[in-house]
């Protein structure tokens, strides 16, 4: 095997030689622009490789993002843009070629993905759970990010505070419901990721007007400003709550919309406005619809941090709402990869795209799994205070993500167990952010 070399071109990824079926190790040297039209790197190389770029995992979309991020870092220090793969000697060279480097037949060829280096990007809701992770990823990819957070008198930046000082990150404070503020926000942007929202369903029962103002009117302001400034792309973050209780599973983007809470109604309206701006004004909008994202930094308003924080506190029981509903859980890093892919190219324009795992677990089963991972044996109790009104409860959500796979090449890569373990470690390391004795809405 020693002596074989491999090349990745700007147009596509191709093998400048042959690889043996049993070749599993390679050194990655240099840097390269990665394209979504390429075959999955992990199909031909292992999940873990040594790399002068510090790239450790080449699986699927994560591998492509990691390589592109490494490319951006190396460009900044003047590294060559050429790439070669130098294999490690693993035994005698094969006497004849065993397979060529060609895409898997089942994968749709996708257009080239642009580099994010130096692109001007706005993220609204950047101080929130998903928004802060999206800011992390975009800055890793070299984008020039403006993070928009809701103004408060303490000038706090939400979860962006946990990043520490970052001189390259621009943070703007304001109110998404003020059109002039939004116009000023996006005037230099090329792409906007719109995540600003009030997401608490119980909160929407108490403050429906505020929820509609932020979620619906705030989205309208983004669309108006994006049209006026001729942005290249708007990625609107929707929610699986727009579907309501599953009439069939898995739930594709054609599943009926069922507004079972003021929150879901406000998001249905926001999505409809985005679609109308695309159809009426040819605005390049993509609607990304994550299913129940979880992970580090999520507040204990959500089910997973609630269970973890209660269990870590030494409580003798876990107190939750309805234990029967089933949810499709997606790790936050997978979700933000999907958002970035939705912003790349034209395939997603005018589309609504689900991001999920395609599997569901009941709240009761999930709580028992988390308690087990923590090594505790305590009961889980349902509290009437935390139960939604019966006709407002969403009984089951299971995503059909075939469109995300076909249009974007996206697949979830973090298993539920791995994601829960990472979230447990985060909550354990940040106890000041959680109060297990309080029911948050």
| Boundaries of every domain in the chain | 6-87, 120-433
Cα dihedral sign, 335-336-338-343: positive
**146 with 123: CB under 8 angstroms?**
yes
pLDDT of residue 299: 94
CA dihedral defined by 403, 409, 415, 416, rounded to 10 degrees? -30
Convert the pLDDT of each residue in 169-225 to its tens digit: 999 999 999 999 999 999 999 999 999 999 999 999 999 999 999 999 999 999 999
The H or E element that residue 14 is part of is: strand 13-14
The pLDDT of residue 20 is above 90: no
Beta-carbon count within 10 A of 153 CB: 5
Closest CA to 68 of 40, 44, 32, 42: 32
The H or E element that residue 403 is part of is: helix 402-408
Q: What is the mean pLDDT of residues 405-424?
A: 98
**318 with 378: CB under 8 angstroms?**
yes
- Note the pTM of the prediction, 2 decimals: 0.76
Task: Dig out the tokens for 396 from the structure.
Answer: 């089951």
Name the CATH superfamily housing domain 120-433. NAD(P)-binding Rossmann-like Domain (3.40.50.720)
Q: Can you point out the beta strands (E) in 62-217?
A: 83-87, 120-124, 144-150, 170-174, 191-194
The pLDDT of residue 18 is above 50: no
**271 with 378: CB under 8 angstroms?**
no
Give dist(CA 74, CA 434) in Å, integer: 39
Give dist(CA 215, CA 221) in Å, integer: 10
Convert the pLDDT of each residue in 37-57 to its tens digit: 333 333 333 332 323 333 344
- Peptide linkage before 42 cis (omega within 30 of 0): no
Convert the pLDDT of each residue in 236-280 to its tens digit: 999 999 999 999 999 999 999 999 999 999 999 999 999 999 999
The H or E element that residue 206 is part of is: helix 201-206
Compute the mean pLDDT over every residue in the chain, rounded to the nearest whole number: 80
Closest CA to 208 of 262, 160, 161, 261: 262
Place of tokens 């269990």: 311
- H helices, E strands: number in the chain: 12, 18
Convert the pLDDT of each residue in 69-124 to its tens digit: 444 433 333 332 233 333 333 333 333 333 322 333 333 445 556 789 999 999 99
Convert the pLDDT of each residue in 359-386 to its tens digit: 999 999 999 999 999 999 999 999 988 9
């Amino acid at each position: 095997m020693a002596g074989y070399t491999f090349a990745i071109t700007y147009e596509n990824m191709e093998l400048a030689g042959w690889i043996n079926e049993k070749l599993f190790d390679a050194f990655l040297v240099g840097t390269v622009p990665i394209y979504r039209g390429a075959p999955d790197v992990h199909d031909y190389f292992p999940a873990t490789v040594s790399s002068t770029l510090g790239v450790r995992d080449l699986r699927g979309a994560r591998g492509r993002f990691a390589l592109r991020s490494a490319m951006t870092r190396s460009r900044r220090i003047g590294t060559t843009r050429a790439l070669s793969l130098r294999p490690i000697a693993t035994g005698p060279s094969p006497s004849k070629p065993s397979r060529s480097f060609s895409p898997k037949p089942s994968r749709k060829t996708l257009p080239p993905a642009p580099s994010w280096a130096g692109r001007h990007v706005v993220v609204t809701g950047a101080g929130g759970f998903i928004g802060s992770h999206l800011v992390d990823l975009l800055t890793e990819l070299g984008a020039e990010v403006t993070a928009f957070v809701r103004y408060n008198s303490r000038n706090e930046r939400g979860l962006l505070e946990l990043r520490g000082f970052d001189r390259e990150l621009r943070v703007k404070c304001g109110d998404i419901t003020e059109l002039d503020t939004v116009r000023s926000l996006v005037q230099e942007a090329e792409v906007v990721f719109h995540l600003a929202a009030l997401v608490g369903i119980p909160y929407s029962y108490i403050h429906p007007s505020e929820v509609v103002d932020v979620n619906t009117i705030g989205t309208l302001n983004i669309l108006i400003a994006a049209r006026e400034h001729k942005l290249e792309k708007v990625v609107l973050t929707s929610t699986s709550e727009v579907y309501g209780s599953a009439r069939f599973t898995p739930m594709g983007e054609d599943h009926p919309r069922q507004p079972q809470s003021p929150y879901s109604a406000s998001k249905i309206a926001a999505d409809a406005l985005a679609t109308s701006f695309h159809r009426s004004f040819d605005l390049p909008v993509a609607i990304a619809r994550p299913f129940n994202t979880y992970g580090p930094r999520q507040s204990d308003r959500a089910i997973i941090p609630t269970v973890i924080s209660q269990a870590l506190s030494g409580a003798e029981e876990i107190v939750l709402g309805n234990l029967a509903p089933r949810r499709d859980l997606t790790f936050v890093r997978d979700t933000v990869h999907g958002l970035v892919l939705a912003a790349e190219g034209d395939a997603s324009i005018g589309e609504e795209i689900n991001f999920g795992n395609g599997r569901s677990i009941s709240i009761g089963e999930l709580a028992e799994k988390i308690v087990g991972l923590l090594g505790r044996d305590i009961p889980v109790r349902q509290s009437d205070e935390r139960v939604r009104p019966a006709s407002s409860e969403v009984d089951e959500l299971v995503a059909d993500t075939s469109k995300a796979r076909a249009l974007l090449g996206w697949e979830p890569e973090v298993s539920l167990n791995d994601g829960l373990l990472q979230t447990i470690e985060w909550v354990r390391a940040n106890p000041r952010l959680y109060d297990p004795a309080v029911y948050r809405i």
